[in-house]
């Protein structure tokens, strides 16, 4: 048993049912599909969503218990992307920043092509926005009205990224907003 938060590679197809259950049992208010059914989730997993070339998927574990799921995409590109989902009862306990740091290390250590690591979230996902900043990421864009919301007006999508060189040096390269 270990106290550490860890990323553990998703095993397919052994873990398919458990992952579909995890995705169906929790709500994802800031994702495009806030309440996927277990069957929806099972279909997407079986369709190969997490095992295309350049993708990787992980359970997030604490004391060997699964508390979340994370996926990486475009690892063979210069800008990989991620999805991060903690179970309802694991949210609001300060794990997000540590997990984002683990994912960042995973990307830059396993993918020599990656120069940047990028993520977007809805403007009202306060917890994720704080998590980005606390993990040393920098806001790069605010796409107004870019995120469709069923039954109401769209919200903004906010983009953050961390550079490999910033991760290596612990420095932060600012965005040159005043260059016009
Ligand atoms: C987003 C997520 C990864 C953040 O991780 P977390 O461990 O829950 O975040 P923390 O507990 O460190 O909370 C970060 C901050 O947000 C605040 N916060 C948490 N939930 C909040 C909410 N619903 N509304 C407002 N603020 C909130 C916390 O109070 C904390 O701020 P503080 O330290 O100044 O008090 C996690 O909540 C999650 O998986 N959510 C569901 C999936 C999701 O939205 N993923 C993001 C996809 S891009």
* DSSP H helical ranges for the chain: 16-25, 38-46, 95-110, 126-134, 164-169
Cβ of residue 71 lying under 6 Å from some atom of ligand 1: no
Assess whether the C-beta atom of 87 lies below 6 angstroms from ligand 1.
no
Mean pLDDT, residues 120-128: 98
Say how many Å lie between the first and final Cα of the chain, rounded.
55
How high does pLDDT run on average in the chain? 96
Structural domains in the chain?
Answer: 5-169 (3.40.630.30)
How many CB atoms within 10 Å of residue 42?
A: 18
User: Average pLDDT of 19-43?
Assistant: 97
Residue 1 has pLDDT above 80, yes or no: no
**107-144 b/e (C-beta count within 10 Å ≥ 16 → b):** bbeebeebebbbbbbbbebeebbebbeebbbbeeeeee
Taking CA 168 as the corner, what is the angle to CA 162 and CA 172, rounded to the nearest 5 degrees?
Answer: 45
Nearest CA to ligand 1 atom 21: 127
For residue 96, name the pLDDT band (cuts at 50, 70, 90). Answer: very high
127 within ligand 1 shell (Cβ under 6 A)? yes
Q: How confident is the model at residue 161 (pLDDT cuts 50, 70, 90)?
A: very high
Residue 3: the pLDDT is 65
């Amino acid at each position: 048993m270990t106290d550490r938060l860890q990323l553990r590679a998703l095993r397919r197809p052994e873990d398919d049912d458990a992952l579909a259950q995890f995705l169906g049992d929790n709500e994802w208010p800031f994702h495009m599909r806030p309440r996927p059914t277990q069957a929806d989730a099972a279909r997407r997993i079986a369709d190969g969503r997490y095992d295309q070339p350049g993708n990787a998927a992980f359970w997030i574990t604490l004391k060997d218990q699964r508390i979340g799921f994370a996926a990486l995409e475009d690892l063979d590109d210069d800008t990989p992307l991620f999805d991060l989902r903690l179970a309802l009862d694991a949210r609001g306990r300060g794990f997000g920043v540590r997990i984002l740091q683990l994912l960042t290390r995973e990307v830059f250590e396993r993918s020599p092509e990656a120069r940047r690591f990028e993520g977007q979230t809805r403007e009202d996902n306060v917890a994720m926005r704080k998590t980005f900043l606390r993990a040393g990421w920098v806001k790069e864009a605010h796409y107004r009205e870019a995120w469709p919301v069923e039954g109401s007006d769209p919200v903004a999508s906010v983009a953050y990224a961390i550079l490999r060189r910033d991760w290596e040096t612990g420095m932060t390269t600012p965005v040159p907003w005043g260059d016009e």
